[in-house]
Amino acid sequence: MATTSWSEELASLVDDPGVRFAGDPNPTEFHKTTPFDASSVESEESLKDQAMGFLMAWCEIVMELGRGCRDIVQQNLLNEESYVVRKIGEPCAKVSKRLSFFNHFLPEDRDPLQAWFVVFSVFVLALAAISVDLNRDPLTKVMKVAMHPPNASRILLPDGRYMAYYDQGVPAGRARFSLIAPHSFLSSRLAGIPGIKPSLLEEYGIRLVTYDLPGFGESDPHRSRNLNSSAMDMLHLANAVNVSDNFWVLCHSSGCVHAWASLRYIPERIAGAAMLAPMISPYEPHMLKDELKRTWDKWLPRRQFMYSLARRFPKLLPFFYRKSFLPENHDRIDKLLSLSLGKKDEILIEEPEFEEFWQRDVEESVRQGKVQPFIEEVVLQVSKWGFDIEELHVQKKCQTRGILLWLKSMYSEAECELAGFLDPIHIWQGLDDRVVPPSMTEFIGRVLPEAVIHKLPNEGHFSYYFYCDECHKQIFSTLFGTPQGPIEQQEETAFEENNEDVLPESSVSNDKKLLI
C-alpha cells in the first residue's frame, strides 16, 4: 500500500473548481510538482512579528477590560440613584457652572472635559519641573539646622504680644544717633548690619536696635498684621527702649518694605532713612513697562513663579516653603531663595564668616517652625500697601477746599504747607544687583526726586552691606558726617548741676510769695 505525505492529503481535500485558464498547469501535475510546504510559511513569520502580535492582543484585552470597568462604574456609581452622585453631584454641578466661563477660552471644536484635563496635567508637570533645581550641585554643602535656647530681650506691646530685639552700640543715654532696623525675608534680629564693628559704632556714637518681625525669631505672631501695624510696632519699640529723640530707620532688601511704612505712617518720629537695595512691590502699578520688564528679567523662573503664587494663590506657598527652608537641612542662600547673584556676591557667600552668619540667622528666623509668618511677609511685599511711594514726595499742599477758604484765596494767598517725607532719604544700589534690580531704584528716583541715590558700580546685593568695613564707614560718613563719638557724661552732669542751681532759687522765690 502506497503511503502519502500529509501535504498530499491536504491537497486532495481541496475540490477542483473545474475552471481552467490558459497556461494553467494540470492539477494532477500541480499536486505532484508543487506540494504545500508549511515550513516555508512558518519561516516568513519572524520572532519580532510574533512578539508584536502578542503585544497587540494584550492591548486589546486591556482595552476591553478598561471598557468593562468603565461600564461597571457608570452603571453602579454614576447613575442618578447612586450614593456618590446624590452626595457630590449637586456641589460639582454648582462649581462647574461657576467655572464654565473658562470654556470660552477653549477652541470651539474641543471637548472641555478633555481639554481641561490636558491643561491640568501640563500644569502639574510644569510644577514638578519648576520644583526640581537642575543647576544644583550634588556636592553642595548642606548645613544641619540647630536649635538654640531663647536669649533675646523682649518688650510687651499694647496688644499683648511680645517683641524680641537686639541692642548694639553705645548705651541709650550716650547715643548721638539711634538706628532701628527691620530685617529682610528669612532673617532675624541678629542680622542688623552684618559684620559691623563695635568700635565703628562707638566712633560715631551710634545705637543700633534690630528686632524680630511678628512670628520670626522670638517675636509673637500677629494674626492681622499689615504695614500700618508694622510701623506702629516700630514706634512702640522706640518708646520702650528709651529712644527719646527721632531715630533713623535702616533697612536692606525686602526689610525696606517696613521702612517705607514707617516713613508713611510715623514720619514725625523718623529723622531719616538709610536704604540699601530697597525693595518695592514687583507689581507696582506706577512702574513703566520697561522698568517692570528689566526687573522681572533679572529673576530666575522659580522666583518669578513664587511671586506669582504669592500674588494669586498664597495658599499654595506652604508646600514650597516647607520643602525649601523649613526642613532640618539648609542649602546655600542662592539655592534656598532661588537667587541669581553677581560676581561679588558669589565670592562673598563662599566666605566662612558669611556662611556662619547665614546659618545662625536662618536658624533664628525659623525658630518657631511655622510657615504662616513667611507667607504673610511675602504677601505684604506683592500686595497693595495701602499707600503709594509717591505720597512721600515733598510738595506744597494748599488748603482751598470749602467756600470760605475758596473766597479767601481769591483775595489773598492760600495757606500752603509742605507735605510728604521732609527728612533725608539715602539709597545705595549695586548696579550688579540681580536680587533687587537697579530698575526698582530708578523708579524710586523718578517718583522721589529728593531721595539721594548712591550708585555702586560692580556691587551686588550683599557685597556692599555685608562684611565690608570700608563700606560701613562710608555709609555712616554720608549720614552723620565727621565722627564725634558718643555724648559725654560730663555734658549731662553739667546740665543737671545747672538745673539744681536753678531749682533752689525758684523754690525760695515761691516760699517768699507764700509768706507775703
Query: Using an 8 Å Cβ cutoff, are 202 and 234 in contact?
Result: no
Residues 6+ apart with CB under 8 A from 202: 169, 170, 485, 486
Cβ contact 484:204 at 8 Å:
yes
Residues 65-77 pLDDT 10s: 888 887 777 777 6
* Coil/strand/helix, residue 177: strand
Give the three-class secondary structure for 162: strand
The model's pTM: 0.68
CB–CB of 238/175 below 8 Å? Answer: no
Backbone angles phi, psi at 453, to 5 degrees: -105, 125
Closest of 165, 186, 132 to residue 378, by C-alpha: 186
Q: How many angstroms separate the CA atoms of 325 and 82, rounded?
A: 46
Integer angstrom CA distances of residue 176 from 79, 243, 244, 336, 485: 80, 11, 11, 39, 8
Q: Residue 229 has which C-alpha cell?
A: 501695624
Task: Show pLDDT as tens, one digit a residue, over the chain (516 residues).
Answer: 555 555 555 555 555 555 554 555 555 544 444 454 544 444 456 787 888 888 888 888 888 888 888 777 777 766 667 766 677 777 777 767 766 666 666 666 666 666 666 777 777 776 666 555 444 444 344 456 677 889 999 999 999 999 999 999 999 999 999 999 999 999 999 999 999 999 999 999 999 999 999 999 999 999 899 999 999 999 999 999 999 899 999 999 999 999 999 999 999 999 999 999 999 999 999 999 999 999 999 998 889 999 999 999 999 998 888 877 666 666 677 676 778 888 999 999 999 999 999 989 999 999 998 999 999 999 999 999 999 999 999 887 766 566 665 555 555 555 677 788 999 999 999 999 999 999 999 999 999 999 999 999 999 999 999 999 999 999 999 999 999 999 986 544 444 444 444 444 433 334 333 333
434: its cell numbers:
540681580
pLDDT tens digit sequence for 42-57? 445 678 788 888 888 8
296 close to 447: Cβ distance less than 8 angstroms: no
